[in-house]
Amino acid sequence: MAAGSARIVRYILFAFFGIMVLYFMSSSSIPRPQLPTTSDLKGNLGKTHTGHSAGDVQAPPPLSVEKVAGAPDAASAPALTSSKQSNDGPAETVAEASGERMNATFVTLARNSDLWEIVKSIRQVEDRFNRKFHYDWVFLNDKPFDTTFKNVTTSLISGKTHYGLIPEEHWSFPEHIDTDKARRVREDMAQRKIIYGDSISYRHMCRFESGFFFQHPLMQQFEWYWRVEPSIELYCDIDYDTFKYMRDRNKKYSFVLSLYEYVETIPTLWDSVKTFRDNHPEHIAKDNGMQFLSDDGGETYNHCHFWSNFEIGNLNWLRSQAYTDYFNQLDKDGGFFYERWGDAPIHSIAAGLLLKKDEIHFFNDIAYYHVPFTHCPTGEQYRLDRKCHCNPKDNFDWKGYSCTSRFFDMNKIEKPAGYKDQQD
């Protein structure tokens, strides 16, 4: 009987203790996590970009960067911290780049069919650079972008995205072009197996990139651009603002790769350039980069050019009267269609003649690949410091078909240690 009474007392004490523990837990001041409601989840999903017209602007999807209401714009904020939410883990705090934000954008000429190649480039640019700076991205197309293209690209880009339609007059034969003559040229080049020799669209692209991309209404709001093409790779971290670097050092044009142009595609280009030079001597800069372009003081062209699938440059220079007069002369002469002038030699010759040579910059630290050439910085410690993953044996800079040595010689820049080991 006594043993039974003792057991009952113990049960009562255990029950009382349990009730007291539950009471203190329920009245504790530590907040308990709240599960999101269904409406909360729906509100955080990225909206489908339907019904967009050409020239539309898209902000990044809400899940990519969570912005605090009432916070200053990135353009005015000296420093920002944002929270990126992963679907399979806790929020990751990312320290944003501090300092002045430049009036700059990435720009890409692409078609809807290029989507899965351009997303590779976007990931490279975002991971190596733009996740720290959140610059905008302009996409241009001769046909309207479809919803899938907009949705996918917007989801990957940390800045705002803009989608524009190229005006028909910038992607067609000008009135002064004899289309029958142009057709015969394409047929001849096809027989001679000249790369893109029979392509009409390639010629429209080269003409557009040479004289019109910077005039597009979406581009008018910007002062600086970084051109990005599908299927490129960036091999090293870029931890500083390249646009600000250009501005602070009075640079107007930049490159990472240079090489010789196919002679068969530009037989009369230099004749047109000399006509422009003779008609507009006021536009030719003193202390220019002619030494990069010519071995005889400008009488002939050595075919060197900066490879324009990568460019960081100043849009106001391209909109200048000097460049406008230059492009108009070349466009009038018809070489985009009667030959196969590329935008790379067009931009390069303009930079070499219209800019001072010290206004052109070589971005050695932007390790870059566009089929089939690679720029991989020379110097092991240099690559280690920037977390590069390129193979230095692939570096094109010092090969025989590269013109980068000419740029170093023209500017009296000392070549990096070990460059001879990478020569042919």
Q: How far apart are CA 246 and CA 225, in angstroms?
A: 11
CA–chain centroid gap for 219, Å, is 14
283 Cβ contact partners less than 8 Å away, ≥ 6 residues apart: 276, 321, 322, 325, 326, 353, 354
Please, are residues 110 and 142 in contact by the beta-carbon 8 Å criterion?
no
Of 126, 311, 339, 359, catalytic: 311
C-alpha of 402 from chain center = 23
Alpha-carbon distance of 403 to 303, in angstroms, equals 9
Q: Which residues, 6 or more positions from 225, have their beta carbon under 8 angstroms from its beta carbon?
A: 104, 105, 106, 107, 214, 219, 311, 312, 313, 315
- Residue 386 CB contacts under 8 Å (≥ 6 apart), including other chains: 236, 237, 238, 239, 365, 367, 377
- From 233, 198, 216, select the one nearest 141 (Cα to Cα): 216
Burial of 250 (0-12, 13-18, 19+ CB in 10 A): exposed
CA–CA dist 218, 54 (Å, integer): 10
169 is catalytic: no
What residues act catalytically? 311
